[in-house]
Structure 1
């Protein structure tokens, strides 16, 4: 770790000290605010009691006025009930008279309707008798006409059957004669066709016989000519085989000479390639050797410079180490005391809050306020308590951030000690790990303090 980095860390530590002082002032301001809030709430409670008393007086006055109004309304209701009963009796008498008159009218109308009904029944019976007589006469006339029509149609049907039977017999005889004549004609035609077919088959057979005889003669002549050609081909084949043997022997000789020449060519090419490679390798090695010599000289010079720097760094490291150890020790003591004081203050404040809540609940119970007023007061108190709780949580969060920053700084310091090969036993003290009560901090950066779940 360089000197500049250590100075930066020292500067950060000083900034954190100033920040903690500001936080102390902030906590004192919060304490004063809590006191003022308590006084304000006490004053508000007294005002609320006065308001409750006024409301109770108003309530009593309203109850008295309400009772007087009730008496007036009861008297009015009695008068209205009496008037209503008188009106009911009058309307009942009027309705009874009108009902009797309506009943008399209804009886008269009913008698008239009964008379009309009897007259209509008599007329209906007379009409039914007349219709029955007419229906009987129509049925008798219709039956006579039906019998006449049946007899007429039966006689016509018999005559038609006789006519068609005569026609059928004459037609049958004529058709039989035609059929016999047609059969004789067909037999004559058939015999003539059979004779023609026999003649045609005999002519075709003679033609086929002559055709196949010609084919056999031609085939025999072709076979003789093909045999002669085969003998010629065999002779040519034997001659060609002899020539092929001679040529193969010559080819073998030439192949042996060619292989020998190819081997000599490959050896010469290989020797030439190796010579060029060796030549290039020699040039490259000379160049590398010169470059390596130059690098060696440069490295020697750099080594001397680095040794001097290393000695200076060791001296600076020792100085910074001593300063850093002293600063961390002072910081640990201060932060530890502050954390303890803050925790005690928080515990006291929580106890005071509980006592105040108990006192307020007792006061409200003794005052016997309206439920609406009590609910409003409770809401206000809950809001105020929520604000206080959020403030306490913020303070706890800030405290956790400070502890986390302290632990991170220790971790960085230990890692740097390991980098420079310094054991922890040389510090001369055991560094404190700052942890808040009831919380487990994460391993993230100091600005992102979260509780490990």
Structure 2
């Protein structure tokens, strides 16, 4: 067993090494037996070590096999994951292409709807302007007629007012004379009564004034404490709420100032006792009404507090909605940047195509013009040569007519070819001008100014005029 071998190994390692000092022939019998025993022990020790190392080797081999299998499994899993990631990336790219196509279609439909709405809005605005101008003229005419009528009514009213003022002044002077006479009589009668009553009422007035002052001072101090307390409470509350309740605070301040002015007014009006009693009763009644109003306002305070909590909850909801809208705004801005980049790319492609078409059409126009100029020069030369041949040949009239008919036929055929070439040239120029017009219309529809092209479009108005109205007249 491996454990016994390990113990033997430890024992052998602790014992002395094999001594080979003497040869076996020189040893005695006892020494040979001891030597054999040592050799056997050494052999057993080496066998135990060999078995131990074989077990260790087997363990290492099994561990290596297990780790190799695990490594192959992990590599297979990694390959599967890579394959799944590639498939997911392909599907993602396909979805991105589909969504790009959808966005392009939506942008095209949006642009079409915008153009239709703009045209409809312009037409409706023009019609509305016409209706507005017509209504304005009618209203101006009515205004002029009303001004004339108003002027006439003012003149008539002024005449009536003058007559009324004269009559009223006469009546007022008569009434003033009557009232002055009655006042003198009444003053004479009541001066005597006042002397009698003044002496009697002085004592009563002093006592009543003293009592009224005590009641008034106690009531005023109580009112001032209550008003100060209510004012401080309302001030602390309305400083915490929004700016909308500042009007209420200012109103309360004005009411407090009114109360203070009223109290000062009561102190200044102590001279006349009877009038002061009436005024104090009135002021007490007004103060009680004001206290009742303050109690009502305290009830309203609870309602305002509840409304404030509701407003805070509504504010939280609106803040959340604002954050959502802000996130949507950022998403839309990213989409807008992508769409703008695509628009710039399409614009570059479009300008490149326009350059190519311009070069091709310009080259064709130059070729056709050169061909036409060459044919015209050849025709002139042929006519000159023909006239010289006719003059030199001195043919009879029949031959001349025959030759002239043939020449007319040839010239007619050449003229038809020239007209065909001119017609082709006009059609090419017309197509070129139409393409420029559509290009400018597209640029204005996309909001791109014509100065940003970097070149000036080549437009030939003389070549664009074709026969039979095939080519539009340049504007």
* TM-score of the superposed pair, with normalisation by structure 1: 0.30
The structure, 1 or 2, with the larger RCO (C-alpha pairs under 8 Å, 6+ apart) is: 1
**Which of structures 1 and 2 has the bigger CA Rg?**
1
* TM-score of the superposed pair, with normalisation by structure 2: 0.28
